[in-house]
Amino acid sequence: MNENDRRVEQFKSEISDLKLRGESGEGEKRWLIVGIVLALVGIALAVFGAIQVGEYGGDPANQRAYMAQGSFMGLALIIVGAALFIRYSLARYMRFWLVRMTYESRANTDRLVDAIERAAGLDVDPSLDTIAPPQQVVYPAGTHSGPTTAVPGQSGPA
C-alpha cells in the first residue's frame, strides 16, 4: 500500500470516528430538482398571466386579477425556485471544495513535515511512520560535560 492510499484510509477512519450522520445526496438532489421545476412553472405562469392580461383584461379590475393570478404568482415561484436551486447547488460545490481543501492541506502538511525532518537531519522510516533519534554530536574535550543531541541552528551543546 503506498503512502497516498494509507493516508486516504487514515482519513476515512478519522471521519468515521467522528460519528457524523451520513446521508446520501438524494435529499439535496430532490430539492435541487424542486427548485428547477418551481422556476420553470413560475416562468410558464408569468407568461400565461401576461397573455391573459393582454387578451381578456378589458377593464382595469380584470387586468389586476389576471396579473395577480398569473404574473405575480409566477414571479414568486421563479424567485423561490431560483433560491432553492442556488442554495443546493452551492451546498454541493462548497462540500466538494471543503473536502478538496482538507485533502490538499493534509498533503501540504505532510510535505512540510518531511522537509523539516530532512532539514533537521532526522532519519524517517516511512514503513514504521516513526522518526529515528538524531545523530549524536561529540564536541572537543573540555567544551561541555558530554555528548548531546544536535539542535539545528545552534552551534554549541543543546
Instruction: Count the helix, strand and coil residues of the chain and give each as a percent rounded to the nearest 5.
Output: 70, 5, 25
8 A C-beta contact, residue 86 and residue 31: no
What is the secondary structure of 58-77 as a DSSP string? -SHHHHHHHIIIIIIHHHHH
Q: For the segment 7-60, what is each residue's pLDDT rounded down to a tens digit?
A: 778 777 777 776 666 566 678 888 899 999 999 999 998 888 888 777 776 788
Q: For the segment 47-100, what is each residue's pLDDT rounded down to a tens digit?
A: 888 887 777 767 888 778 778 778 888 899 999 999 999 998 888 888 888 888
